[in-house]
Structure 1
Amino acid sequence: MPHLALYTFGVMKSPLTDPGPLTREFYESGEAVYREIGRHPGYIAHAEAARHIQGVLFDADWGEWGEFVVPAWYGKGRSAETTALAATLSLWSGLRPAFDAIYTGLHRAALNRRYDWFERTGHPGYVLWWVTDGAIPTWQDGVSKLEHLHEYGSAPHAFTFHRSFAPGGTPTRLEDVETKSEVR
């Protein structure tokens, strides 16, 4: 059974190592969000660095998730002192569980505050795609899919919740997913 990959990317207003209250608040809420999402039905895994050091993303060891890369349009720093971005890469059992985890609970509350922390870039903030069971998406996969989504819009290999596709490439809607899962 295919799994759903989700890549998110945002440019922060301040570097990750900024000692100010907004950055501290972002980290504190992020830890609680990750704990809650990690317990959500349908969650499989997310990319984690072997050692978490605040502000270090580019030189971290991400294991099978691959080398950390960012979209070409990211123009801020890449050192621990200057990196100003947040990115996630995760695996889900399907569209509905991922949607529910993102748009409810603590993550929904964080989304409501996103413009306190993130710049408005004119680029999509996330992209979805299907991977075969057992496959681990890489950061490069996520960046390529996000850039494709920005350039061409939703397609079976790079889409959003609002213009989504089933694993076979057929357009689908969350309402269709909900109905199908209720039948089972």
Structure 2
Amino acid sequence: MPRLALYTFGVLKSPLTDPAPVTRDFHDRAGGIYQRISRHPGHLAHAEAAEGERGTHFQLDWGAWGEFAVPAWYGKGRTPETIALAATLSLWTGPRPAFDAVYTGLHREALNRRHDWFERARHPGHALWWVPDDVTPTWRDGVSRLEHLHDHGPAPHAFTFQHPFDPEGTPARIRGAAADGSE
């Protein structure tokens, strides 16, 4: 049975290592949010660095999730001192569980504050696509899908919660989801 891949990407207003209260607030919330999402019904897996790895994003071993990559429009740093991004890559049983995890609870509270932490984007913040049961999507896959979504709009190749497709490529609807991604 196909699984749903979800890639998210955002550019932070300041580097991850910035000690400013806003950056600290973002990081203080992130750990709890990721723990909660990983226990959400329908969550299958998410990209994690190899156990014990030290470094930031580009220097880490992500195993089957591949080498860390970012969209072409990301223009900030790639060193531990200059990286200013937040990215996730995960697998889900379908769009409804992923939607519920993103648009409810702690993550919804964080989304309500996204403009405090993230630059306003002219690019999509997430891309969804279906993968066969035996495939682990890579960071490069996520970047490619997000860039395709930006360039061509929602299609079976890359879509959003607001404009989903089923595994066969037919436009779909997430039951109970509002068109703007909120309920």
TM range (shorter): over 0.9
1:112 paired to 2:120: no
Alignment of 1:10-21 (within 5 A): 10-21=10-21
Partner of 1:82: 82
Alignment of 1:19-34 (within 5 A): 19-34=19-34
Structure 1 residue identity aligned to 2:148: H
- When the two chains are superposed, the root-mean-square deviation of aligned CA atoms in Å is 1.4
Partner of 2:151: 151
1:80 partner SS: coil
Distance in 2 between residues matched to 1:73 and 1:129, nearest whole Å: 21
The answer on whether the counterparts of 2:3 and 2:130 sit within 8 Å (CA) in structure 1 is yes
**1:52-96 Cα shifts (integer Å, max 9, x gaps):** 647x11111100000001000100000000000000000000010
**1:13-41 Cα shifts (integer Å, max 9, x gaps):** 01011111111111111101011111110
> What is the number of equivalent residue pairs in this alignment?
176
Extract structure 1 runs of 4+ deviating beyond 4 A.
none
Deviation of 1:140 after TM superposition, in Å, equals 0.3
1:67 partner SS: coil
Distance in 2 between residues matched to 1:84 and 1:111, nearest whole Å: 17
Distance in 2 between residues matched to 1:163 and 1:69, nearest whole Å: 25
1:140 paired to 2:130: no
Q: How many percent identity over aligned positions?
A: 67
Distance in 1 between residues matched to 2:54 and 2:107, nearest whole Å: 22
Structure 2 residue identity aligned to 1:20: A
Structure 1 residue identity aligned to 2:120: R
Query: Unpaired runs of 5+ in structure 1?
Result: 178-184
**1:99-141 Cα shifts (integer Å, max 9, x gaps):** 0000000000000000110001210000000000121000000
TM (normalized to structure 1)?
Answer: 0.92
Partner of 1:63: 63
TM (normalized to structure 2)?
Answer: 0.93
